[in-house]
Amino acid sequence: MYSAKPGFPRPSRQKQIPSSQSHVKSKFLAIIILCLTLALFSDSSRADDLSTGPLPRNGLALPSAQQLIWHDYEVGMFIHFGPSTFLDWVIDWPVPEYRAKEVKSHQMPDKLEHMFDPRNFNPKKLDTDQWVAAAEAMGAGYIVLVAKHHGGFCLWQTETSEHGVRNSPWRGGKGDVVADLAESCRKRGMPMGVYLSPQDHVHGAAGGGRCRTPEDQKRYQEIYRRQLTELLTRYGKMSEIWFDGGLAVEVGDLIRQHAPDAVVFQGPQANIRWVGNEDGFAPYPCWNAISTKIARSGIGTAVHGKPDGTVWMPVECDTKIRGQWHWASDKTEWGSASLKSLDVLMDTYYRSVGHGQVLLLNHSPDRSGRITDADFKRGAELGAEVRRRFGRSLAETDGRGTSIELDMGKATTVDHVITMEDIAHGERIRSYVLEGYRKGSWKQLCEGTAIGHKKIDRFPQISVEKIRLRVITASASPVVRKLAAYHVKAAAAATGIGLPLDTIELQLAAATGEEEKFDLSPWIKGPGQYTLILRARGDAPHPLLVDLKLIIDGAEATQYLKPLEDKPGYFDLNITVTRSWPKGSLILQRSSPPKK
């Protein structure tokens, strides 16, 4: 059995060997070093070699050191806390007094009551120690704080904006939520990250930090870089940085200088990607590698995963423990009644961590600055249930090759198997079968494709003497970090493959040379991954990306639209941010080619 604190059970990357076998350990290490050396310098090894010889040079994408650490966290805690907490609404806007005067045209809310005055921010019982305790209780290995959401309200002491804690009555305008949480995390050894929204209603920046005029863009670039520098230099090491919706501001030099070991969500420097929905469900299979082209876009999602991709960019599955990201009162549909059940949270765990990816589960402190008792308890129940199910295996082993057996010692009832590749050598397994040995023969328990960091397989309980992992196809000799059996005594629900992609299909007019406009708003239920199909009439050519323009709330956002390879007329529509769901303007413009 392996365990790690804080968080869920996680295996060590180093095999534990009794001290009485130190001479065996020395020989074992020497063999490993020799094998690695041969792997690095042998040109004769083939990518399709499934022998148990030296690790081949196979050209697989490999994770970085920080990505390996991040994978092992498996669960993180998101924290949304700010003006929306006090407004009972999803998105907030600053009152006119606190908007940047240099910006001539600001986005406006649908209702005046969605504007926020910082003088109404006063969380008198704010307790970041309690936030960290909540993260530990639910098994989170790290925390990501939303330091600035789309409304532009800053939770730290900054001179880049008047819209923030510095102009609130909280602690006489001297409070700093980021500083409080950083200190609480430091005391408990909890890694911390920050979310700094590129969209900013104070400075007139739309999704990705894009402004309407070159003058506003230049001014906002300087402001955003100052904000990021403050967050990366004042509060200790940041393990993760979130650029929600991509990033048009150049910050690569700042990350290299101040946070070289951080994982980055979206933007040109991204090394992790969004799953493509806000339900926490990763599709299956969910391959960790993607193409270089998609990686450079900074807004790749789970659908872009390829077993033979060239860049390792794993998936973060963000979702909320309640119906909305920020706390809301019971006057709304997102109040206490929307708190997810333990069964729902466990299903989310199976379909994120159990599909080899990382779950980022949101907690939302209330207006006092504390996570409610009910929310804290539900998160703790999740952590306890995961530990109950997977805290101690019945038996486990590791190994290399296409067939690995786990001896149970005697006939033992099992209903779950956890398999983990040693992804330091890449994601090698392409398909596999799990089998149980009983009464003199092998019986198939389940089958699958991707394993990667972790695959949790569940099946009806059965008594077996052995379990066998049989790899059907692989890109190179499989290296299995863990093969473990469990008897969870829970219903073996279908694992599912994640949420189906919503599809929007439009019929285009014949080529006239005139511009066409389509309102996509009725089809967009919220942030997520959509498939857009544009059908051409008659013998008209399929539309190309160069002919299309996506407009969100009056600002161009064509970066969220990507053509699907080998599927003319099919596009990925990756919607991450807009004004307020389900409301908001989302227009597709098409410039038709001239009529022949």
**238-285 confidence digits (pLDDT tens):** 999 999 989 999 999 999 999 999 999 999 999 999 999 999 999 999
For the domain spanning 75-390, the CATH number is 3.20.20.80
Phi, psi of 311 (to 5 degrees): -125, 130
Which residues lie closer than 8 Å to 34 by C-beta, 6 or more apart?
none
On the question of pLDDT at 500 being above 60, the answer is no
Q: Which two tokens stand for residue 551?
A: 């407009």
Residue 271 CB neighbour total at 10 angstroms: 18
Residue-averaged pLDDT of the chain: 85
Could you give the CA distance from residue 469 to residue 268 in angstroms, rounded to a whole number?
39
Residue 111, pLDDT above cutoff 70: yes
Q: Would strands 455-474 and 273-274 be described as parallel, antiparallel, or unpaired? A: unpaired
Give the DSSP letter of residue 545. Answer: G
Amino acid at 431: S
Q: Does 543 score more than 70 pLDDT? A: yes
- Read off the pLDDT band of 546 (50, 70, 90): confident
Q: Could you report how far apart the first and last alpha carbons of the chain are, in Å?
A: 71
592: confidence class by pLDDT, cuts 50, 70, 90 = low
Query: If we measure between CA atoms, which residue out of 541, 472, 482 comes closest to residue 511?
Result: 541
* All residues at 6 or more sequence positions from 481 whose CB lies less than 8 Å from its CB, including other chains: 11, 13, 398, 420, 421, 422, 423
DSSP 8-state secondary structure symbol assigned to residue 141? S
Q: Which two tokens stand for residue 135?
A: 């993260």
pLDDT at 179 over 90: yes
Q: Measure the CA angle with vertex 69, ends 448 and 258; round to 5°.
A: 135
Residue type present at position 250: E
- Vertex 97: Cα angle to 154 and 167 (nearest 5): 40
Statement: residue 54 has pLDDT above 50: no
Name which residue leads in pLDDT, 340 or 499.
340
Q: Which of 78, 529, 14, 584 is nearest to 300 (CA)?
A: 529
Say how far apart CA 414 and CA 488 lie, in whole Å: 8
- pLDDT value at residue 494: 38
Interval 389-398 mean pLDDT? 97
Q: What is the mean pLDDT of residues 285-291?
A: 96
**Once rounded to an integer, what is the mean pLDDT over residues 503-521?**
69
Quote the tokens at residue 439. Answer: 């009464």
How high is the pLDDT of residue 539? 60
pLDDT band for 55, please (50, 70, 90 cuts).
Answer: very low
pTM: 0.81
CA dihedral (104, 106, 111, 115) positive or negative:
negative
**Residue 581, amino acid:** W
Among 192-201, 279-288, 358-367, 522-531, the least confident range: 522-531
Query: Does residue 516 carry a pLDDT above 70?
Result: yes
CB 61 within 8 A of CB 307: no
- Which stretch of DSSP H or E encloses residue 40? helix 22-41
Dist. CA 168–CA 161, nearest whole Å: 13
Q: Are 479 and 51 in contact (CB under 8 A)?
A: no
Q: How confident is the model at residue 95 (pLDDT cuts 50, 70, 90)?
A: very high
**Tokens 């703790």 sit on residue:** 380
Cα angle: 450, vertex 451, 455; to 5 degrees: 120
pLDDT at 116 over 60: yes
In CATH terms, the superfamily for domain 395-486 is: Galactose-binding domain-like (2.60.120.260)
Q: Regarding predicted confidence, which is higher, 587 or 577? A: 587
Residue (of 492, 488, 573, 569) closest to 528 by Cα position: 573
Q: Where are the domains of the chain?
A: 75-390, 395-486, 502-591
Nearest by Cα to 530 from 521, 538, 518: 521
Closest CA to 207 of 267, 125, 264, 167: 267
The gap from C-alpha 172 to its chain's centroid, in whole angstroms, comes to 36
Q: Closest Cα partner for 96 from 81, 116, 73, 113?
A: 116
Element (H, E) at 33: helix 22-41
27 pLDDT more than 70: no
CA distances from 36 to 65, 228, 308, 420, 424 (A): 17, 40, 22, 20, 12
CB 396 within 8 Å of CB 467: no
Contacts of 19 (CB under 8 A, 6+ apart): none
Confidence of residue 42 (pLDDT cuts 50, 70, 90): very low
DSSP-derived letter for residue 303 is G
